[in-house]
Structures are given as structure tokens and as C-alpha cells.
Structure 1
């Protein structure tokens, strides 16, 4: 397709209706690809761990994806501005779909973690480029907002069906299909994007391109070092290796701060990050990502490993969480423009999110499923008020000249919060579960079976349960009591881990007071695609 210059189009819509529709269908499939993957994997993960036997790497399945995404979102966002986005969207679809196949072929947790890291590169490219194609196609805000309904619908459908689909595929086809399901969606995305998405370029091709590669490396080393420290600390304590790892992470953060202050095109612009009007909003982006992923990632493990539900049943319980995000977002768009103080929606959102996390903490095996569904729905309604409004407020306060970099920074910070949420919560859960199981086994003088109980997969895999229970019975132990003790340890550890998410949500609620008064005058001119 011929190269277009975005500057050459002054109308509200670059292409005629038919071509615009076909191009947007391609982007809609891309949005579905990202939305589906973000929700379908969580439901299947307890079963994956049960088969691959690597509970110590449970959180890494998410954090490896998020870590690589954090780095690639701003990099390819800038490259897309300079070279045009179409090529990068095509490459990202191929990379994301191909790495999904690698994930499905995994025969160990380490393989899966590495494959998810590769998939995160593709996911970061998708977020950094595909979503930005919509303002390219529709320069006029009024037209863009009408087309945005298609994106919201695509994202809503994919996230709503994700948990249930993940449970169904895991239970009846096997967990590998939660990754293979990306193949048909990826192929459809590729066909439509290749044929119908125009190649738009915003900048003069003769201008010099600068990319902050040192900043990208420093972000990777600082966040990667911090993540390793958080996950390894319970096992190794303050050993010399751990102190060295922490020191390296702190040194990388400091070097990043110094470097980004003086480079001309920083990947992490600290002057924008600490701007008085934006700093509180950026901090809330980190905290919302922390709470959201702690809730979404460990609820399936609680319902399957702790409550003994099937993957499909757990998926159905999680579905209201993601479905209500879309419902609440649509309602929010109709309400917020009529409020004198739009920040009120953040107060309501974080309050609902805190109540949802508290509902997970107080739930137990005999809690009515309707009550669990209600608490999950509250979380979705809260996130539907938090996520789009943080985007709107940040874009409104950043101004048109900083719109792109502010939006990319917000997405990256949310991913960082998500990464920290899964890593810190996961480390706490791992440590508490192992201690609880060890105490139960020692009290029954069955400590030699710790290796069989150390991974909660025994609570999910009926085959493993039968084998271990037979061994315990032959040795004169009551295996059912020990299994129940392990189950209670898992429930207690997840309750404690999600309690941390409750605390973060409550802290966020108080931090909303630091957000300056927001005035939304007329139509929102700066709403980013995909949010």
C-alpha cells in the first residue's frame, strides 16, 4: 500500500468509510488479541503449574511478559512516530502469535517464562503502535470517538469471554490451547492489517532519529534486579549475593535518573513524571496496576487450589471482573462530562476496588458463588472508573504537545505496577504457603513429604493427589488431613497476599486527594485509542 503522509490530510477522517472500516476491523482483531491473552492465561495458570511443576515461577509467567512490555512500549511508540506504524504492527502480530505457539509447546515452567518474555516484546510493540493508529486514521476528535466504540466492543468481548474460555479450553482441550487460541485471531489480524491499514508517517524522513537505548537497558536492569531480589529474598535472606543484587538495582535506578535528565530524547522523562499536575496521576497508575494484577492473577489460584473448583467454574467466577470493566467504562463516558468534579469517579473507583479485594480476603470454600461473583463485579466496576479516567486526566493535564509521551509513560507505569503486584504478592504467597505446609507436615512427623506438598499443584491435580495419598497411607499417615492443611495454608497465604492489594487500594483512595482539580471542557480531544 502506498505511503501516506499524515500531515497531508486535513480532514477528520483520512480514508473513506469502507476503507476505514476494514482498517479498524484489523486493529479490532489486534485489540482482541491483547485483551484475550490478558485474561485467558490467568484461569489456566493453576493447571499449567500443576502439570509443569514450577510453583516458584508462578508469578514470573506474568512478570516476564510485563517486564519486556514495559521496555518495548515507549521504544516502538517512538519508532512508530518516525517510521510509520504499519510495519511494526505487522511484525508485532507475527512475534506475538509465534511466541504464543512457543508458550503452548512449553514442557517446563522455565520454557514458559522465557516464551512469555518473548511474547511481551510483541505485546509491547502492539500496545505502542497499534493503538496509536486510530488517531492517525481519524485526526478529528469527534469522528475518532465514534469509531472508538468498535475498539471498546472488541476489547470488552475479548476480556469478557477470556476467563470462561480459558477455563473451558483448560478443562476439555488442555491448557496449551489457551495459547494456541491466539493463532486464528493473530492470522485474521495480520490479513486485515496487511491489506487495509495505510502506512502513515508523521515526521520528515530526512530528520534525525534518536532513540534512548541506554535508558532502555537501565530500565531493564533496574526493574529486573528488583524483581529478582523480591522473589529470591525469602529463600536467601540478606546474603552477599542478595545485597549485591539490591545494590545493582538501586545503582541502575540512580544511573537511569541521572541519564534521563540530560539525554535529549529520554525514554522515561522524569521532568514529566514529577510535574506537579501529573505526578499524583502517574503514581495512581502504578498503584492501580499493582492492585489489578494481584486481584486478577491470584483469584483463579484461590478458587481452584484453595476452594477445589474446576478451571471452568473458576473462569465463570472471574468473568464478571473483566466484563464489568467495559460496562463501567461505557457508563463512565456518559457521566463524567456532567460532573463538576470529575475526580469523584476516582474516589468511587478505588473504593469499589478495595471492597472487591476485601471480598476475596473474606471469602472461603463455602461462600456462595453469587457472593463471589458480586465481589468480582465490584472490582470490574471500580477498574472501569479508574483506568479510563487516569488516561483522560493525564492526557488533559499533559497538553497536546506531550500527549504521546504522557500516554506511553502511563501505560509503562501501569505495567510496572502490575509487575510489582504479581512479584511481591507472589513472593508473599509462596513463602507463607511453604511455611504453613512445613509446620503441618512436621506436626504429623511427615516432613519427608514436603517436596510433594511444596508446590500447590497437588491441590489441583487429582492424579498427583491420588499418588501422594497412597504413599502417605502406606506410611501410616492421614493424607486427607495433610491435604486439607495444605489447602488451608494456600487459602491463608492468598488471603494475606490480596490483603496487600486491599492496603494499596486504600492508600490510592487517600492519594486521590493529591490530584489537582481537573476541568474537562467540551469533548475530550486527547483520549488515546485502546483505553
Structure 2
């Protein structure tokens, strides 16, 4: 069991580090391949395909077996990594990142299911999920550092090629040591439903990603995407209601406890993307930090996420899981309240404290949510339920990025246009030949106001998460009566 768990941690590390290590290579990639205007799609292509494939891989794992599917998924991930390392143009790199994302979509739902299978008691599962969260937290710290070292000492290509030996080692460990608990199920795969779901969700996610990048939501292209999403997702629901083995059993949405858990996932992960995306902008544009210092301001989030995950695993058995989640959401409310008051005179220590509290809260929440999913679904639908939760985890990032982008632009676009500063860089390098000291001070205050509006939105999300956590607690108390 220990060797299988090591393989699970390795697989998790592959997906986790991939989300952070690429950021440090972006300047080198654009210098080598050009296509600066396509930078966001290096992230978005990976995000989009991993979101959709997570739920499909989760279902396939229930039908065909977890061992086969995760090995297949990691293999696709490694093929995508190899192709990314060999990319000769920005367009090809984006396509290869999409392939990489398809494989990555298998890792999170199936490894989390395997943890539930390996550890039988809730206490053991909590510790296992704590280690998984620790991997994500540590990756958030060391990913950019490893990426920077590789770019400085070698080339950006090796950031992707580094995955291959670790991925092969993971496959060998799983193939040799993982003895799957066999569950006999019908092996009919809902290809039609999977196709309609993929097309509909790709249209919806593409519209959200593109809209958040351009802030143009009513163009002809956007309207076509909305219509496509509505039509294909509507057909998907029609098909799922009439097939014997749906790719997403709609009965999952009748499970009120799962709905609350998935709602918590949606709002909590949206908060995280708001911190990750806008805190570096605040650090550089408002506080005048350089890129390295701005990145370090996110370190408390990752470090305390790990600490919170370890603490939460130790609390299992002492207090209920629902109470642990409640404590986590209270910490989210406290941290987002603090972030709403950021200004040009805020001390960096205040920011460190706020992000550290938020990281602790997420460390309390994230492992417990997965345990709650495991406890709320049947064994036959476990991978599918976790796959749905993993999809919502990624989908929330697109939703959060879009909403926070709108809030930031509504607050900043008009005031910046008034001083003819709409084309300024958000890295703090304001052109002193174009703007007076008074104008630069005004620009900084406008950006600070935009950041506050983003974190006001985060505060609202945190309050909603706390309310949902209360509902989980109430439901649990009713069950115990």
C-alpha cells in the first residue's frame, strides 16, 4: 500500500507542479516562439481540456477500472509533455498543452478515489487527503523556483520534459503494486452523451475564458458560443435521461449533500483564483514590488494550505468533519475581509497574514470536501462523483476569473481612460515621461480600488461558502438524531 500511495503522490505532483512551473517559463517561451497575444491560451488550453476530461475519466474509471484508466491518462499526459518540450511554434504549444490537459484530467479524480480505496477509516482517509493537499501546497512554492532554475540553467523545453521520468516511474509503481478492488459493472460507455457534454462545455468554458481575457461578452463569436453551449448541454441532458449508463448520472444532482459539497467547491476555488491572479498585480502595481517579490507574497497561501491540511487531518475524530469545514470557511471570511481593505499604504506583513489565514482555511476545507464526497456517493459511482467534483474545481477557476475580471475592469477602465492611461502595464513600470507623479499616484489608487472590488467579490463568495457549510452541518446533525 505504501508504494501505491507514493505513486499517487507522484501523480498528484505531476499535475500540481504543472500548474505553477510554466509561469516562470513564459518570458522565455514568448522570446523563442513569439505570439505574445496567445500567452493566456498556454494556461487556458490546459485548463479547458483537463476540466472536461476529469469527469469523463472519472466515469470511465467506474466502468473499466481505475488502474487501466489512470495509466492511460498519465500516458496521454506524458505524450503531451513530450510534444510540449518539442514545440516549435506557439500554436503547436497550445495544441500540445491541450493534449497534456486531457491526460491531467485523469489524475485528480482517480488518485482521490484510490486514496479512499486504500484507506478504510475516515481518520486514515483524512491523513491521506492531507498528504495530497500538502503536495499541492508544496508545489505552489517549489514549482516557480524549479521552473526558474531550469530556465536559467537549461531551456524552457526541459520544464515539460522533466515530467517524463517521474511519470514513467508512477506508471511502473501503479502497474506493479496497485491491486484494484474489482466491481462488476455494465461496460456500456455513453459516447453520445460524452460528445454532447464535451462540445457544450468546451463552448461554455471557451466563452468564459475568452470573455475574461478580452472583457468583450456580446460579440457575435461570444453569442454563437452561448447558443452552442445551451443547445448541446440541453441535448446532453435529454440523452442522459434516456441512456442506461450515462456518462454523468443525473441522479448525482438529486443528492442534496453532494450538491452542497460541490457548491462549496465552486465558491472556495473561485476565491483561490482571485488571490492567485490579482495579488501579484497588487504587489507590483500598487506596492511597487518586482516579479519575484510579488510571487513570494503568495507563499503564505501555499505554506499555510499545507499546514491547514495537516491540522485538519489531526482534528478528525476530535470534532466532526462538518465542523472542520465550518472553521475553514470562517477563516476564508476573515481573510477576504482583510483583503477588502488593501491600499497603497498597506504593509506587506498584513498581506502575508491575510493570505496565510486564507491558506489555512483552504487546508481545512479541501481534504474534508473530498472525504465528504466519498461518504456521500455509492461505491459504484465514486469515481464519477469525484470526477464531477474535480470538474467543478476547475470550472470554478474559469467562473471566478471571469467574474473578478469584470469587477476589476468595471472599477478601473473608466477612471483610467479619464487620464489616458488605459494601456498602462500592470507590472508597476509606469512611464514617467508620459505621466506626472500626481497621475501615477492616481493610477496606483485606481488599481488599488480595482483590487478591493475583486476582494469584495471574494468576500461575498466566502460568506456564501460559510452559509453552505452551515447547511452541511445541519444535515449531518439531522442524520445523527
TM above 0.5: yes
Q: Following TM superposition, by how much is the alpha carbon of 1:501 offset from its aligned partner in structure 2, in angstroms? A: 1.9
Aligned residue in 2 for 1:381: 360
Q: Following TM superposition, by how much is the alpha carbon of 1:423 offset from its aligned partner in structure 2, in angstroms? A: 2.9
The question of whether the paired residues in 2 share the 8 Å contact of 1:429 and 1:494 is answered with yes
Using a 3 Å threshold, how does the CA distance of structure 1 residues 154 and 131 change in structure 2: closer, same or farther? closer
Using a 3 Å threshold, how does the CA distance of structure 1 residues 433 and 119 change in structure 2: closer, same or farther? farther
Which of 511, 515, 523 in structure 1 is aligned with 2:468? 511
Q: Following TM superposition, by how much is the alpha carbon of 1:83 offset from its aligned partner in structure 2, in angstroms? A: 4.1
Unaligned runs of 5+ in 1: 1-19, 443-449, 523-531
Q: Which has more radius of gyration?
A: 1
The question of whether the paired residues in 2 share the 8 Å contact of 1:104 and 1:177 is answered with no
Using a 3 Å threshold, how does the CA distance of structure 1 residues 483 and 87 change in structure 2: closer, same or farther? farther
Aligned residue in 2 for 1:129: 110
Aligned residue in 1 for 2:334: 355
Using a 3 Å threshold, how does the CA distance of structure 1 residues 428 and 34 change in structure 2: closer, same or farther? same
Q: Distance in 1 between matches of 2:273 and 2:444?
A: 22
Unaligned runs of 5+ in 2: none
Using a 3 Å threshold, how does the CA distance of structure 1 residues 30 and 178 change in structure 2: closer, same or farther? farther
Determine whether 1:222 maps to 2:209. Answer: no
Q: Distance in 2 between matches of 1:360 and 1:273?
A: 34
Q: Following TM superposition, by how much is the alpha carbon of 1:124 offset from its aligned partner in structure 2, in angstroms? A: 0.3
Determine whether 1:254 maps to 2:234. Answer: yes
Aligned residue in 2 for 1:292: 272
Which of 88, 91, 96 in structure 1 is aligned with 2:77? 96
Determine whether 1:28 maps to 2:9. Answer: yes
Using a 3 Å threshold, how does the CA distance of structure 1 residues 183 and 483 change in structure 2: closer, same or farther? farther
Query: 1:440-462 CA distances to partner (integer Å, 9 max, x unpaired)?
Result: 217xxxxxxx6xx2653xx36x6
Q: Following TM superposition, by how much is the alpha carbon of 1:77 offset from its aligned partner in structure 2, in angstroms? A: 2.7
Which of 99, 102, 106 in structure 2 is aligned with 1:118? 99
Report the 3-state secondary structure (helix = DSSP H, G, I; strand = E; otherwise coil) of the residue aligned with 1:299. helix
Query: 1:282-321 CA distances to partner (integer Å, 9 max, x unpaired)?
Result: 2222222222222223323332344332333223221221
Q: Distance in 1 between matches of 2:31 and 2:337?
A: 27
Alignment of 1:106-505 (within 5 A): 113-134=94-115, 138=118, 141-142=120-121, 152-153=130-131, 155-157=133-135, 159-160=137-138, 162-163=140-141, 165-166=143-144, 169-170=147-148, 173=151, 180-181=158-159, 183-194=161-172, 197-198=175-176, 200=179, 209-230=187-208, 231-232=210-211, 236=216, 238=218, 241-339=221-319, 342-429=321-408, 432-441=411-420, 453=423, 456=426, 459=427, 469=431, 473=433, 477-478=434-435, 486-505=443-462
Report the 3-state secondary structure (helix = DSSP H, G, I; strand = E; otherwise coil) of the residue aligned with 1:292. helix
The question of whether the paired residues in 1 share the 8 Å contact of 2:74 and 2:171 is answered with no
Which stretch shows the higher mean deviation, 162-171 or 266-275? Answer: 162-171
- Count of residues in Structure 1 that have an aligned counterpart in Structure 2: 475
Which of 65, 71, 91 in structure 1 is aligned with 2:46? 65
Query: 1:336-379 CA distances to partner (integer Å, 9 max, x unpaired)?
Result: 4233x542323221221132233333223442222211111111
Q: Distance in 2 between matches of 1:311 and 1:29?
A: 29
When the two chains are superposed, the root-mean-square deviation of aligned CA atoms in Å is: 4.0
Which stretch shows the higher mean deviation, 278-287 or 76-85? Answer: 76-85
The question of whether the paired residues in 2 share the 8 Å contact of 1:32 and 1:155 is answered with no
The question of whether the paired residues in 1 share the 8 Å contact of 2:284 and 2:291 is answered with yes
Using a 3 Å threshold, how does the CA distance of structure 1 residues 38 and 165 change in structure 2: closer, same or farther? closer
The question of whether the paired residues in 1 share the 8 Å contact of 2:305 and 2:359 is answered with yes
Aligned residue in 2 for 1:527: none
Using a 3 Å threshold, how does the CA distance of structure 1 residues 454 and 232 change in structure 2: closer, same or farther? farther
Report the 3-state secondary structure (helix = DSSP H, G, I; strand = E; otherwise coil) of the residue aligned with 1:141. coil
Q: Following TM superposition, by how much is the alpha carbon of 1:72 offset from its aligned partner in structure 2, in angstroms? A: 1.3
Q: Distance in 2 between matches of 1:89 and 1:383?
A: 26
Q: Distance in 2 between matches of 1:454 and 1:61?
A: 23
Using a 3 Å threshold, how does the CA distance of structure 1 residues 269 and 289 change in structure 2: closer, same or farther? farther
Using a 3 Å threshold, how does the CA distance of structure 1 residues 188 and 323 change in structure 2: closer, same or farther? same
The question of whether the paired residues in 2 share the 8 Å contact of 1:425 and 1:497 is answered with yes
Query: 1:420-441 CA distances to partner (integer Å, 9 max, x unpaired)?
Result: 1123323443565544433221
Query: 1:152-173 CA distances to partner (integer Å, 9 max, x unpaired)?
Result: 4465255235335515744994
